[in-house]
Amino acid sequence: MRVSLVLPNSSIYGPGLRTVVWTQGCSIRCPGCWNDALWDFKGGYKLDAEEIVEEAITNGNLGITILGGEPLDQVESVKELINLSHENDLNLMLYTGYEEEELNEKQRYCIDNADIVVIGRYVDGLRSEELLWRGSTNQRIIWNMDIPEGIDLSERRQVEVRLENNGNFRILGYPSDSMIMNYTKRFGKLKGISKERGKI
Ligand code: SF4
């Protein structure tokens, strides 16, 4: 699989602590996409499904979330990751910008066998920073597993601040303008904020 980034122990892309995989390459190219650095299929690096599953197991994570880029542009690799995750008692959450009527047979397999799916184009005019796990209001969450008890499914802004081994901060999700301003005052200009909107 061609990936841009893999981070274990994240809690804002699905239920519980998860290993999150940003795939590299997207053919859909939604206008206003904040991850356009992930469109190029030549970027990133290669990683096997075994290595991703191993990362999740080593960190004691509940599951794996795969987003993009467009995961279903690498459908064979996603299929392999779904099956390997299940063999190792990990649940798999899949993001796709494809609509249901566009799916081919292999992509359909992935939608039907992933445990949770966030499906649909990112539509810039329907953008909201207050949605659970989604970027625009047209996108839907499909549950193919029982919804875990006690889970908070309320729509809300989610932000994750991570202190990395090299001492840098990484901010995931939708930091508010005031949060960005405060961080900028304390730590200087933040890298990686795109579209002047704070999505990282
Ligand atoms: S599918 Fe995702 S990565 Fe691809 S253009 Fe749309 S929002 Fe961006």
Pair (166, 68) in one structural domain: no
Q: Which residues line ligand 1 (CB under 6 A)?
A: 26, 28-30, 33, 35, 38, 68-70, 97, 122
Closest C-alpha to ligand 1, atom 1: 97
Tell whether pTM > 0.75.
yes
- For the segment 103-122, what is each residue's pLDDT rounded down to a tens digit? 999 999 999 999 999 999 99
- For the segment 124-158, what is each residue's pLDDT rounded down to a tens digit? 999 999 999 999 999 999 999 999 999 999 999 99
Q: Is the pLDDT of residue 77 over 50?
A: yes
Pair (48, 120) in one structural domain: yes
Pair (126, 162) in one structural domain: no
Pair (26, 105) in one structural domain: yes
Closest C-alpha to ligand 1, atom 8: 33
Residue 18 · residue 61 · CB < 8 Å:
yes
Pair (55, 150) in one structural domain: yes
Pair (21, 109) in one structural domain: yes
The ligand 1 atom nearest the CA atom of 26: 4
Quick one: DSSP state of residue 100?
G
Closest C-alpha to ligand 1, atom 3: 69
Pair (191, 97) in one structural domain: no
Pair (148, 177) in one structural domain: no
Pick from 133, 164, 97, 184: nearest CA to 12:
133
Pair (148, 111) in one structural domain: yes
Give the chain's domain count. Answer: 2
The ligand 1 atom nearest the CA atom of 33: 8
Residue 61 · residue 92 · CB < 8 Å:
no
- For the segment 89-100, what is each residue's pLDDT rounded down to a tens digit? 999 999 999 999
Q: Residue 125 C-alpha to ligand 1 middle, in angstroms?
A: 14
Pair (151, 188) in one structural domain: no
Q: Please give the residue range of the domain that contains residue 64.
A: 2-155
